[in-house]
Amino acid sequence: MVNTKVALSGLVLDNPVIPASGTFGYGHEFAELYDINILGSFSFKGTTREPRFGNEPPRIAETASGMLNAVGLQNPGIDRVIGEELPKLRKVFHKPVVANISGFSVDEYAQCCERIDKEEQVGLIEVNISCPNVHRGGMSFGTSPESAAQVTKAVKAVTKKPVYMKLSPNVTDIAAIAKACEEAGADGISLINTLMGMRIDLKKRAPVIKNVTGGLSGPAVFPVALRMVWQVYEAVKIPIIGMGGVTTAEDVIEMMLAGATAVEVGAANLVDPFASKKIVEELPYVMERLHIENLTDIIGGAHNG
């Protein structure tokens, strides 16, 4: 019998599969399709201090082996998430959840994290300093070691739960930014968010997306994500949640061999709402085929080969 359990900063998960923020809402819709307690956890929709309608449509475009999105952090705001979404979630999901927090200033990050830190169902906080689809804040905090460290310090000063910093791939040296977060007190690193891209409508001769650019996700980004997880694993000693183009149980194993302790599944959920469920169910069989008894034994295993 294989062992799929992993631990993130003391938080034990039944398996390493975590639907990524922005692709799973607050869990309610998916709970109508299957028992989401099969998941290790899930990262709920990126939450800001104030409600956000998001960017103007069109804000989704198809690409080869992926998709572009410029949703723009649409969410009901921290008050409604705590007052309405979490109580509803508690009825259908009985495990600790990952709280994804975004912001437009250091103070906003700190305020939202301090509030969500008090919620019993939150197991860890994922701080998004990497969103490429807003015109201010967001990714700007994740593009330099100094600003990433500044947000990390501010959040860690007001929280007791583990804090994982979610990094942008749209940088020259992601390992340096991860290292700065670790030195500032981060408990873990999440990576990668989407890569900047765009499409042009040939008939209109104009960008397909109203925002002009959007974040590229899906299978096309998997090799880039894998490379960055590998680099960050070599640079830090704290746990990594890997993500980016994961669609199969084999992808989960590959991410873990590169250095991830847990793995988030993003765009695949938008293509097939049962994608994460299928990966969880297939994982034990893939482990047996590859002669893996305990998943924790393979974390970073490819660095020793």
Catalytic residues: 131
The token pair that represents 54 in the structure block: 């998001």
Rg of the Cα atoms in the chain: 18
CB 200 within 8 A of CB 161: no
| Rounded-to-integer distance, Cα 30 and Cα 24, Å | 7
Starting at the earlier edge strand, list the strands of the sheet with 60-63.
60-63, 66-69, 214-217, 195-197
CB 53 within 8 A of CB 75: no
CB 159 within 8 A of CB 113: yes
Amino acid letter, residue 18: I
The token pair that represents 208 in the structure block: 């397909």
Starting at the earlier edge strand, list the strands of the sheet with 122-128.
17-19, 262-265, 240-243, 188-191, 163-166, 122-128, 97-101
| Rounded-to-integer distance, Cα 197 and Cα 209, Å | 10
